[in-house]
Structure 1
Amino acid sequence: MEEDRPQKGGPGWRDLPVGAVIAGGANSAKFETGDWRTLKPVHLPDRCIHCLLCWVFCPDMAVIVEEGRVVGFDYKHCKGCGICAKECPSKVNAIDMVPEGADDAERSAVSEYQGKEDPVDDAKGTGN
């Protein structure tokens, strides 16, 4: 069959792995890709229920899991996309996305407003 024939000397389509696998040295394991992010996830262990949804959905495999429990993030590879925080169950909110380089005061301010619909309306006394 024509589709089984290799293209330009490469493998045929049946020889390729299933899924979005990056073969060889073109993956981020050899390159630190987290140095350009503007937001970073901060794990709040006292809130975490260890459902591992963050780990499942992280496109960079940057969620560190030990013995079935989330213990933190690999900031060398995390790009700060926020998917982990979005997938964290809404009643848990165990991941805060904070500005890169934020100090503890800034993290507290972000945590305070996480989950509120509109902090501007709240400040005016018209929101939640």
Structure 2
Amino acid sequence: EYLTGPWRGGGERPVLDLSTCVQCLHCWISCPDSAIYIEDGQVTGFDYDHCKGCGICANECPPFVKAIYMIDERRFEEEAA
């Protein structure tokens, strides 16, 4: 019901590389908006309707893994078009 406002437009959004994710759940625990999808105890993606693009999830992802990285929102929109 309460979605992210238009202020994220032009900011950044997280992207998950499932091939390198070790399912430590640090991102899920740290997300202030509960915007990370979990199925059967595994991270599966992001709820972009509620994600604010703060980058905490990417910062909490272990440095030896770096399964989450931030991309420019405009780049994502261009690739989707």
Pick 1 or 2: higher relative contact order, CA cutoff 8 A, min separation 6: 2
What TM-score comes out, normalization by structure 2 length?
Answer: 0.86
Moved over 2 A (4+): none
Q: Check 1:34–1:87 CA distance in 2 against 1; reply closer, same or farther (3 A cut).
A: farther
Percentage of matched positions with identical amino acids: 53
Aligned length: 75
Partner in structure 2 of residue 92 of structure 1: 65
How far, CA to CA, are the matches of 1:34 and 1:65 in structure 2? 23
Point out where structure 1 has 5 or more consecutive residues left out of the alignment. 1-29, 107-128
Which secondary structure state, in structure 2, belongs to the residue aligned with residue 102 of structure 1?
Answer: helix
Larger radius of gyration between Structure 1 and Structure 2? 1
What TM-score comes out, normalization by structure 1 length?
Answer: 0.55
Q: What is the identity, as a one-letter code, of the residue corresponding to 2:2? A: F
Higher normalized strand content (fraction of residues): 2
The answer to whether the 8 A contact 1:34-1:75 is kept is no
Point out where structure 2 has 5 or more consecutive residues left out of the alignment. none
Alpha-carbon RMSD: 1.5
